[in-house]
Amino acid sequence: MNHSPHAPLPLDIPLTMEVTHFLAHEAFLLDAHRLDDWLDLYTQDASYWVPLVHGQTDPYEHSSIIHDDRTLLAIRVAQYSHPRAHARLPLTRTCHQVGNVLLLQKNDAEILVASTLTLVEYRKERQRVWGALVEHRLRRAASGWQIAAKRVDLVNSQAELDGITILF
């Protein structure tokens, strides 16, 4: 991945399958508009970052498309879910396709995972396709994996994006 200096770890089939299932579950929750359940996947100290600049290494040195902590993510979810969010009606339909899952780093508590994302969005008679390189820093919890950090590098991040109404 362009933004990660890490080479993939040697293949660990059981762990890769477990992590791939977790990422597919995250995508399912987003596509099903189960945003409260999606938010529950995030740790209390989580970050969600969509850089603006290709290869950006720090969200504080450049503007970002999105740079949220857990509190801001909760506000974003509440706004998306609010019954009077007329600007979001009709609801956007999405199809998140996660692929090329690679384990980059791991220790006893966390794992760094790279993947690719193809996202089809349909709203108001318009379909858009998004592509991204994604990194998740996952943390083991008693209930399973949780997302400690998610970085979504859109392939067209520096293009005119014409309003983003979805979560990646």
User: Which amino acid is it at 14?
Assistant: P
Overall average pLDDT of the 11-33 stretch: 97
CATH class as words, domain 13-154:
alpha beta
| Tens of pLDDT, residues 141-158 | 998 999 999 999 999 988
Domain ranges of the chain: 13-154
**DSSP helix/strand/coil, 108:** coil
Distance of CA 144 to the CA centre of its chain: 18
Q: What is the pLDDT of residue 127?
A: 94
Instruction: Give Cα separations from 152 to 1, 35, 107, 124, 132 (angstroms).
Output: 11, 18, 22, 25, 6
Overall average pLDDT of the 122-126 stretch: 89
Q: Name the β-bridge partners of 117.
A: 98, 132
Task: Name residue, tokens 């007329």.
Answer: 86
> In the chain, what is the straight-line distance between the N-terminal and C-terminal CA atoms, in Å?
17
Model confidence at 27, pLDDT cuts 50, 70, 90, reads very high
Q: Kindly tell me if the per-residue pLDDT of 1 is higher than 50.
A: no
